[in-house]
Amino acid sequence: MLPKDTSMLSLLAALAFSGLLASAGFDSYTAMTDKAQAQAEAVEDFQEWKRQYTQLLPLEGRWSQALRPLNEARDLYTLHQMLGEHPRSNPDTLLVERIERVILNERDLGAQRVCLSSGSGSGVVFTEKDFPTLLAGLEALSLRPDVQMGSVHLSQEKAEARAFVSPLCLLLRDEEEPQK
């Protein structure tokens, strides 16, 4: 039973207001809940990202160890030095055939690919006194992550074992590595 003297008009207005407020409040509640949920998901995403990121972070070190920075390659001589002593190649005929960005899975890895040639053909000639030495050298080269080797053609030339690697590219990372 309603208390005496209650104004029906104001009571109805209050009821209508409460109804409006309830529906608006419900909408806001839904929106707020959605927002809270989205935020919670963002936190979850972030934590997942962080987990992956921290997991992958050691790669940074591996990357900068495996690849020499581009600014170390000042000239053909230093490039030849980077190829190493064995297998032997001729520094005098060495040319830079092309330089391109290293793209993998449509993503720039932050490195340049410097492809070399020994003058004729788009590849580098290595020579050693025999095949076992040559193959050992080539294998050592192929184990380096900063060297990309294409096809390898082996042949005997005079008394020497000859390998024509085409293409042969050195990967040089960009200098500015964001230090973490």
Partner 1 sequence: MSLKLKVQKREGPLFACDVSQLSKGLKTLGKERLVLCGSTLLGSLEPLKGVAGYVAQPPRSTTRAMPWSKAKGKSLYVSIDKEALALVVKARQKPVFALDALLRYGQRVKGADEHVVLGAFEGSDATVVLMLHFRKSELVALNEYTLAPASAHTFEMDLHVLLERLRMAHAQAIFHWCGPLSAPAGQALQLAPASLWQTAHGHNLTLSGRPSLLRQHGLALGLVLASVASVFVALYVPYTQYVTARDALSRENSQLQGEYSFASEKLALLRARQAFFEVSSHGDRRLVQFKTVLEVLAQQEDLRVRESQLNSNLDPVSRGRPGQTGKAADFEVLVDVPREPDSTALAQSRPLLQELSAQMGMNLRLATTDPYKDIEKSASGDNKARRQYRIQGDFNNAP
Of 79 and 137, which has the nearer Cβ to partner 1? 137
What are the C-alpha distances in Å from 129 to residues 117, 118, 141, 149? 21, 19, 17, 21
Under the binding rule (CB under 8 A), the answer on residue 33 touching partner 1 is: yes
- What residues between 93 and 112 interact with partner 1 by CB under 8 A? 102, 104-105, 107, 109-110
**What's the rounded Cα separation, in Å, for the pair 24 and 94?**
76
Under the binding rule (CB under 8 A), the answer on residue 150 touching partner 1 is: yes
The per-residue b/e assignment along 6-26, b for 16 or more CB within 10 angstroms, e otherwise, is: eeeeeeeeeeeeeeeeeeeee
Under the binding rule (CB under 8 A), the answer on residue 51 touching partner 1 is: no
Residues of this chain that interact with partner 1 (CB under 8 A) are 2-7, 10-11, 13-15, 17-18, 21-22, 24-25, 28-29, 32-33, 35-36, 39-40, 42-43, 46-47, 49-50, 52-53, 56-57, 59-60, 62-63, 66, 102, 104-105, 107, 109-110, 131, 135, 138-139, 142-143, 145, 148-156, 166-167
